[in-house]
Amino acid sequence: MQEPIISAKDLWKNYQTGKTEVPVINGINLTLYKGDFTVIMGSSGSGKSTLLYLLSGLEVPSSGEIWLEDKPVHSLDEKMMTLIRREYIGFVFQDFNLVPNLTFLENVLIPAYLVKNDREALQARATELMSKMDILDLKDRLPSEVSGGQQQRCSMARAIINNPRVIMADEPTGNLNSSSSEAVLDILTELNETGQSIVMVTHEVKSACRANRIIFLKDGHIEDELNFDPQINAEEKEIQLLKWLAGKDW
């Protein structure tokens, strides 16, 4: 029996551009489950990032509900929302979003300092994560002094330092070369294999094959969904996904 971790109910989001309201998310109903690696696909402008931001509480819906387990995010005030978001969500951005004048280690520690102040334990956890991401020897460098792949691994360490229930990643490999992409995806896969729930937006078929479930967005609504058979191998997954995507606009 799958346990829900995030649910969206009749979710709508409009953006105001000048005098016109542009509908971006149009009545989405979606439940994400604990332990899943869910991928969101869809063409540019279909609303993938907006949906991810709404689900993580970084954007406020125009109407509808978002539940993090039993917590109604849509009706919390900003302060409660920030607390809940920290507990639930670790966010990985396409362009890393590291603080340029802080070292790698300091960047990883930012969210942790906001929550707890046992500095020694936090340093130990940051060191352990950075070692796992293979960036520990870069801990005193600034983001501008390392590669994109290394920056993204730092941003992943930052995203998981507080042990969030869900990692959300918006095209985390979009700015990386193929070997760095593989390293980042391997880390996400490994985290998922140890029970971490992951939601990732991607355009890439190979990256999407890391998921067990694919949601396809079109014009701000869910057009289709694919659940991979857990028995099939990576090659078979890719073939199945390509067939499923044929005729879709992505």
Ligand X SMILES: Nc1ncnc2c1ncn2[C@@H]1O[C@H](COP(=O)(O)OP(=O)(O)OP(=O)(O)O)[C@@H](O)[C@H]1O
> Of Mg ion, ligand X, none, which one sits near residue 150, judging by CB under 5 to 8 A according to partner kind?
none
**Residue 248, interface with ligand X (CB under 6 A)?**
no
- Give least dist CB 24 to ligand X, A: 4
Alpha carbons within 13 A on the beta-carbon side of 62: 14
First to last CA, the chain: 32
Question: What angle in degrees, to the nearest 10, is found between the helix axes of 104-115 and 78-88?
Answer: 120
Of residues 48 and 125, the one with the C-beta less far from ligand X: 48
CA distances for 77 relative to 55, 82, 115, angstroms: 16, 9, 18
Of residues 46 and 155, the one with the C-beta less far from ligand X: 46
> Of Mg ion, ligand X, none, which one sits near residue 113, judging by CB under 5 to 8 A according to partner kind?
none
- Give least dist CB 137 to ligand X, A: 33
Partners of 30 in beta bridges = 8
Partners of 23 in beta bridges = 14
* Three-point CA angle 93, 159, 199, nearest 5°: 65
**Residue 24, interface with ligand X (CB under 6 A)?**
yes
> Of Mg ion, ligand X, none, which one sits near residue 20, judging by CB under 5 to 8 A according to partner kind?
none
Of residues 42 and 149, the one with the C-beta less far from ligand X: 42
Of residues 197 and 202, the one with the C-beta less far from ligand X: 202
Concatenate the DSSP letters of all residues of 134-199 into one string: T-GGGTTS-GGGS-HHHHHHHHHHHHHTT--SEEEEESTTTTS-HHHHHHHHHHHHHHHHTT-EEE
Of residues 10 and 95, the one with the C-beta less far from ligand X: 95
> Of Mg ion, ligand X, none, which one sits near residue 231, judging by CB under 5 to 8 A according to partner kind?
none
Cβ(226)–Cβ(213) below 8 Å: yes
| Residues in contact with Mg ion by the rule CB under 5 A | 49
Within 35-94, the residues that bind ligand X by CB under 6 A are: 42, 44-50
Binding site for ligand X (CB under 6 A): 15, 17, 22, 24, 42, 44-50
